[in-house]
Amino acid sequence: MDHLGGQLSRLCEVVGTDDTTPVELLAGVLGKHGSRPLSQPPAWASDVADDHSPVEFSIAWNESEPPALRILAEALGPVPSVSANMAATYDFLRANGVSTSRLDAVRDLFDVAAPEGDFAIWLSLVFRNGRRPEFKVYFNPEVLGRGESGALAGEAFERLGLGTAYQKMVDRAVRPGELGGLDRLSFFALDLHDAPHARVKLYVSHHDATAADVARAAGVVDGVDPAEVADFCRLAGGEKPKKIKKGDKGEKKGKKRGKTYTGRPLISSFTLTGASDEPAGYSVYVPIRSYVGDDREARRRVVPLLDRYRFDPDFLDRGIAAVTRRPLDSGVGLLAHVSLRLGPPRPGMTVYLSSEAYRVDPPRPLPISVI
Ligand code: TRP
């Protein structure tokens, strides 16, 4: 907690938020493990971060207000297990008076006797300048196994009155025959408040995919430009963006499909609000740490992307300084993901920062994962 709490306080200062509530909430998420010395191995091999820290920070830029600070976290039970961590999550939400009405409509689906995978539920906490914290949960659609993920997510969407939208997303965003194969449903996420703009999100991880595959998935959402999404992936992934000629749809199948991302998968997420039959927003997440040699290279790619969208990169540098003092070229993975968010309610970019509480991954001589 000293390590993470210090990082969090400094990050709060960067985005201009008082740190009292965030630090209290972080302590609540970690439970009794908050006082465990970092010299001991992690109490639970959380997949939230590569080094098994149960926490990951992110800075989310948007067009209308200063960046938000977010924490992705796995609440840990006293004796951690997938089920104990789920119970700890619900205890945490109850203790903090968070509205769970929509969550209550689906929670039994994910509360299974013998969960597969390494989590059933994660949390995110969002701190926006001057507002009360917002909470989100992420369920694991593969908790009954990969083969069941489509049926499980389908049932969850159905219960929320979003069955039609779900079917459209899956039919068009997943490569044919690849549901649970190369295209995996990684998260089913819910905003935990009752306002009309509360969102439901579905995340699809595209393994061994190209930027063109991801662009195709983005095309599911009206008003989202697939070529913009492909460009973002290519710039973040270290490819050269394709020149798009006039009259060219840009992302047609052809010989020049670009590189295959064989390291960590590119991820799509689709946002639904209200009871619409169409997703309203799309985000792409590039696991930049798999495609760079070190964090200096990652930063060098992210800064021009922030500039491109007219977001202030100074927040990134101050955010980095808030979590680490090591030279950026002495490791890789501090900048874990970079994402682009398109469509309502808040278009923007997000950079995910690892706490590196337990480990710093050494730089790689060459980024070998893009072939
Ligand atoms: N560590 C996991 C991964 O990299 C989960 C995760 C953490 C994640 N932060 C994320 C996934 C941000 C997508 C976006 O996949």
Q: How far is the CA of 191 from the centre of ligand 1 (A)?
A: 18
Q: Are 221 and 343 in contact (CB under 8 A)?
A: yes
Q: How would you class 237 by CB atoms within 10 Å of its CB: exposed for 0-12, middle for 13-18, buried for 19 or more?
A: buried
SS (HEC) of 44-99: CCCCCCCCCCCEEEEEEEECCCCCEEEEEECCCCCCCCHHHHHHHHHHHHHHCCCC
Residues of the chain with pLDDT under 70: 241-256, 345-346, 366-371
User: What is the tens place of the pLDDT at every residue in 50-107?
Assistant: 999 999 999 999 998 899 999 999 999 999 999 999 999 999 999 999 988 889 999 9
Q: Pocket of ligand 1, candidates 203, 290, 337: which has the most ligand atoms within 8 Å of its Cβ, to mutate?
A: 337
HSE-up of 186 (CA within 13 Å, CB side)? 17
Give the pTM.
0.94
Structure token digits, residue 96: 């903090």
pLDDT at 246: 53
* 366 Cα to the center of ligand 1, angstroms: 23
Closest CA to 320 of 342, 294, 340, 346: 294
Rounded distance from Cα 48 to ligand 1 centre (Å): 6
Ligand 1 pocket member 82 (CB < 6 A): no
Atom 8, ligand 1: residue with shortest CA distance: 48
CA of 56 from ligand 1 middle (Å) equals 9
Which tens digits make up the pLDDT trace of 19-46? 999 999 999 999 999 999 999 999 999 9
CA of 354 to the centre of ligand 1 (A): 10
The two three-digit tokens of residue 28, written as one number: 């609540």
The answer to whether the Cα torsion of 130, 132, 133, 134 is positive or negative is negative
Q: Which atom of ligand 1 is nearest to the CA of 267?
A: 13
